[in-house]
Amino acid sequence: MPDDAVTMDKIVSLCKRRGIIFPASEIYGGIANTYDYGHYGVLLKRNVVDAWWQAMIGDRDDIVALDSAIIQHPRTWEASGHLAGFTDPLVDCRTCGQRFRADHLDAEHDVRCPRKPSVLPGQGPDCNLTEAREFNLMFETTIGPVQEAGSTVYLRPETAQGIFLDFKTVLGFARRKPPFGIAQVGKSFRNEITPGNFIFRTLEFEQMEMEYFVPPDDAHRWYLHWLEARMDWYERLGIRADHLRLRAHEQDELSHYSSATSDVEYLYPIGWQELEGIANRGNFDLTQHAEHSGEKLEYFDQQSGERYVPHVIEPAAGVGRATLALLCDAYDEDDLGGEARTVLKLHPQMAPVKVAVLPLVRKDGQPELAHEVRNLLRRRMQTEYDEGGSIGRRYRRQDEIGTPWCVTIDHQSLEDRTVTVRDRDTLTQDRVAIDELPDVLAGKLAAPWTSPKLAA
């Protein structure tokens, strides 16, 4: 278990208090495993997604972007194996009517009997569980006004299949040859019935998936490459290395299509859990879709005359799980001269707001100068203006959302056009000339960073 102050309850309550992430449909009592992202949550999530695109297509030349449809032809899921095999084993309790994952009825998963929470489902005096049945996780809907045979479609349970369906089209216009990748970010949907642990497991969630197509003989080498590249990426987000690990799947854990899979895991307050899966999918998907569609999904090398079905390495990450890992890794509590403070020590590049501009008082021309400073900064970085409440309370508010710098305008600012820059982590306050402020802050933002929680 983590050794710091963070617990899942504290994260949930901070997120709700500051409107970062909160239960969806709350006025109707909420809906299971479904959350909405408020202003700061959207900004934080966007930083995660931007960092992923940067790593995939900004920093490399061998990957192209795609945004495929959520509802695809239903035969997609026949070919991919999802219709037959994307299931969880479930049991129902005839007494309380609750449904449980049959493979999660152990102490490790912490699922409790609703009538007697001190015991596991099935162990209470009145528990009466059914046999396990396989339950498909895909959400079904229909196309057209009438529900008739052949009109059933599915909300995608992963973004990857859209990439395989478009393989041939993308190959045609992207002017790439293996090794090359296709990357996409978008919503996926799974009818998960298990308790969610906040945004760790939700019914709808955003995935960041990349399918990397390689010559068959090179697959293992590229698998190892992506294991390393993806671990590096999480460290570059500022997540502490000792809270990250790679866990290779055992042979009996592997999906039917995979010859090797490893999970990037993070030490959440609920223990080590999957952040991202990196799989060597072989040629399973392209072969399946070629068989079911009748289209040839292969690569023909004009120079060598070689023709082959590329193998695929897939790093598949969840935006919500990365966001939750950032929140957990950054959460801290400290004592400021006898006053408790909650602070998110986020990597400045990940912080929803980079700088808050705060006039010390709401008079004497300070708000006007503060607006001028805010306008100077807003095109360079996400900036916020706040004049409500004591300066201490405003600092606390910014600390709670992880704003790395607060710029304060005081009476001296009006005399000599300097401001103070307060650092969230060191709490130092430096005087900086307004004219130099944008460059000073941009320099801080670009500087190397490690979590101050490491030194603690």
* Burial (CB count <10 Å: 0-12, 13-18, 19+), residue 440: middle
User: Exactly one of 184, 207, 349, 408 binds ligand ATP (CB under 6 A); which one?
Assistant: 207
Where do we find the tokens 């990357």? 183
For the record, the structure tokens of 51 come out as 């960092």
Q: Is 202 in the site for ligand ATP (CB under 6 A)?
A: yes
Give the nearest residue (CB) to ligand ATP. Answer: 318
Instruction: Identify whether the C-beta of residue 155 lies closer than 8 Å to the C-beta of residue 139.
Output: yes
Instruction: Identify whether the C-beta of residue 394 lies closer than 8 Å to the C-beta of residue 406.
Output: yes
Q: Is 403 in the site for ligand ATP (CB under 6 A)?
A: no
Nearest to 331 by CA among 5, 3, 47, 38: 5
What is the per-residue binding string for ligand ATP in 143-182, x denoting contact by CB under 6 A? ---------------x------------------------
Helix (H) or strand (E) holding 126: none
Q: Is 190 in the site for ligand ATP (CB under 6 A)?
A: yes
Q: Which is nearer to ligand ATP, 207 or 420 (CB)?
A: 207
Q: Which is nearer to ligand ATP, 115 or 249 (CB)?
A: 249
Q: Is 77 in the site for ligand ATP (CB under 6 A)?
A: no
Neighbouring CB atoms inside 10 A of 399's CB total 23
Residue 179: helix, strand or coil by DSSP?
Answer: coil
Cα–Cα dist 133/21, whole Å: 34
Q: Is 218 in the site for ligand ATP (CB under 6 A)?
A: no
Q: Which is nearer to ligand ATP, 203 or 353 (CB)?
A: 203
Q: Is 184 in the site for ligand ATP (CB under 6 A)?
A: no
User: Exactly one of 154, 205, 222, 233 binds ligand ATP (CB under 6 A); which one?
Assistant: 205
Ranges within 308-347 binding ligand ATP (CB under 6 A): 316-318, 320-321
User: Exactly one of 41, 277, 282, 315 binds ligand ATP (CB under 6 A); which one?
Assistant: 277
- The b/e string for 90-100 (b: 16+ C-beta within 10 A; e otherwise) is bbbbeebebbb
For the record, the structure tokens of 290 come out as 């070629």
Q: Is 46 in the site for ligand ATP (CB under 6 A)?
A: no
> Could you please report the per-residue DSSP string of 42-73?
HHHHHHHHHHHHIIIIIS-SSEEE----SB--
Residue 3: helix, strand or coil by DSSP?
Answer: coil
Q: Which is nearer to ligand ATP, 190 or 240 (CB)?
A: 190
Instruction: Identify whether the C-beta of residue 368 lies closer than 8 Å to the C-beta of residue 361.
Output: no
To ligand ATP, the closest distance from the beta carbon of 173 in angstroms equals 27
Name the one range near ligand ATP by CB under 6 A: 71-79, 110-118, 202-210, 337-345.
202-210
Q: Which is nearer to ligand ATP, 88 or 399 (CB)?
A: 88
Q: Which is nearer to ligand ATP, 7 or 87 (CB)?
A: 87
* Burial (CB count <10 Å: 0-12, 13-18, 19+), residue 377: buried
Contact residues for ligand ATP, defined by CB under 6 A: 158, 190, 192, 201-202, 205, 207, 274-277, 316-318, 320-321
